[in-house]
Amino acid sequence: MKRKNLFIILLVSLCFMVNPYIASAQLKPGDPIVIGVPTALGSIEGRDGWMAIQMAVEEINAKGGVQVGPNKHLLKAYAIDTREHEPGIPVHDALTAAEKLILERKPHAIALGNFRSEVLLSTMDLISKYRLPYICSIAMTPLMQKKVTEEYDKYKYIFRNCLNAPYLSMYLGGVMGFIRKEFGFNRAYIITQDVLWAKGTGAGLEKWYKENGWEVLAFDTYATGASDFSPSLIKVRAQKAQVIVPIFDMPQSGILLKQARAMQIPALIAGFISPIACENAWKVFEGEVEGMINMIYEVGPIPVKAVPKSVAFNENYGRRWGEKARTELSGHGPGPSYDSIYILASAFERAKTVEPEAVVKALEQTDMHGAIGRIRFGKDHQVIFGFDPKETAVGVGFQWKKPGQRVVVFPEGFAEAKIDLPPYMKK
């Protein structure tokens, strides 16, 4: 008898060791569904994404929670700051923070997730170990999809509902095509941050340029935290570049515009500079952003009539967090972070359980409309982006115009105006 008991104890212990998450995969009536949010809370994308998640959780809970089988369960979200956006923070530190959250809060799923692509790739093994459905809403490397496709059984828990680097290249390529058609420009100068997603986007765009008859004068990269861009700007002037293509997510990158204006660089700036995507950037940078074409990776932070939920998201965000917070909404992350909670809630309801394998299957079958447009995952677990919000999720290109407005100029389907040359380029 003693031997039998010992065997049972060993068997149960083994189960826990093999799957440390098994204990909380079951929900009892009254138990909350826990969502873990390990991300870079100090970044504007992480901060806004976390606020959007809290808003979605409150909205769902106000309606009684999530129906999982016979019972309704409230959602609870817990965040931890991984600080991965800061220069010098090792990947291991971010992983430790994520694991701490998983072990302490025992989440049923992860939302928002990693900021840095380098950290996301390492986190995938952690997520696989704990078998947690995971929706990434910031990190953009396409290597995530490659890993999911190549080792599906191991990485099937990982999904992404934000834009990735190839889709960003696709949008930027579209914007560049527009610029060439309108102004005949064909000389570009690429400047990116020295991080995986930005260099990946730059490389994709460089390929597009070469295939479409553009001349790429240079492809410079700057370390995260750098704030002096004069070496590149000197070359832009000397080589007579017509378009500067910056791709940055660090707070210091906004200063590139100020430096370009101070040095009177006669080139159109079109790309992505995270701090310049927010509605308050005109005020913060004292109007020096005028003429820049920037991206909103996923609609939501900018309301687009063709996507009604983006308008509702924008308004509700302002009501929940205040008008100042709304004008500070970053151009990447908030929309998908908000939607991720609805995506997970829907998956729990359709799966009728929080058991990870069933939730993953339900997530793969997601087909809904959110703040970013229509949400459907491809076989590689990446949400499909395109130009028609009835069919896909969408991002937009906008231009800063007087008196401090972000005017959508791309895609053509819902552009509000044409691209204008900035005043300093008009003869």
Partner 1 sequence: MLLSILIYGLINSIILALTAIGFSLTFGISGVANFAYGGFYILSGFLVWMLLNYLRFPLLLAIALTIGVVGLLGFITYWIILLRVRGIALSEVIATFALGVGILELFRYLGFVTYEFTLPYLKKGMILIAGVPVDYQRLYIIGIGLALVLFLYFFTHHTRIGLSFRGIAQNERTAISLGIRSDWTAALSLAFGCAMGALAAIVILPLGIISINTGYEVLLIAVAVGIVGGLESVSGILIASLILGYTQVFTGTYLKPEWMMVVYLAAIVIVLTIKPSGLFGKFKELEERV
Site residues (CB under 8 A) for partner 1? 42-44, 47, 86-88, 194, 220-223, 225-232, 234-235, 237-238, 251-252, 254-255, 258-259, 262-264, 274-275, 280, 284-285, 328
Of 32 and 42, CB closest to partner 1: 42
Of 64 and 266, CB closest to partner 1: 266
Residues forming beta bridges with residue 158, ordered by sequence position = 134
Q: Could you give the CA distance from residue 320 to residue 315 in angstroms, rounded to a whole number?
A: 9
Residue 24 CB, nearest approach to partner 1 (Å): 31
Residue 410 CB, nearest approach to partner 1 (Å): 24
Residue 413 CB, nearest approach to partner 1 (Å): 31
Q: At what angle do helices 196-211 and 165-183 cross, to 10 degrees?
A: 40
Residue 284 CB, nearest approach to partner 1 (Å): 5
Of 325 and 415, CB closest to partner 1: 325
Containing H/E element for 194? Answer: none
Residue 42 CB, nearest approach to partner 1 (Å): 5
The 3-state secondary structure of 222-264, one letter per residue: ECCCCCCCHHHHHHHHHHCCCEEEEEECCHHHHHHHHHHHHCC
Residue 125 CB, nearest approach to partner 1 (Å): 28
Of 64 and 287, CB closest to partner 1: 287
Structural tokens at position 307: 């996507």
Q: Could you give the CA distance from residue 270 to residue 180 in angstroms, rounded to a whole number?
A: 12
Q: Which long-range contacts (CB under 8 A, 24 or more apart) does 305-309 make?
A: 305/414, 306/389, 306/394, 306/413, 306/414, 307/371, 307/372, 307/373, 307/389, 307/394, 309/369, 309/370, 309/371
Of 100 and 181, CB closest to partner 1: 100
Q: Could you give the CA distance from residue 300 to residue 161 in angstroms, rounded to a whole number?
A: 13
Please state the φ and ψ torsions of residue 312, each to the nearest 5 degrees.
-65, -40
Of 1 and 238, CB closest to partner 1: 238
Residue 287 CB, nearest approach to partner 1 (Å): 11
Of 101 and 191, CB closest to partner 1: 191
Residue-by-residue DSSP string for 313-358:
HHHHHHHHH-HHHHHT--SSSHHHHHHHHHHHHHHHHHHTS--HHH
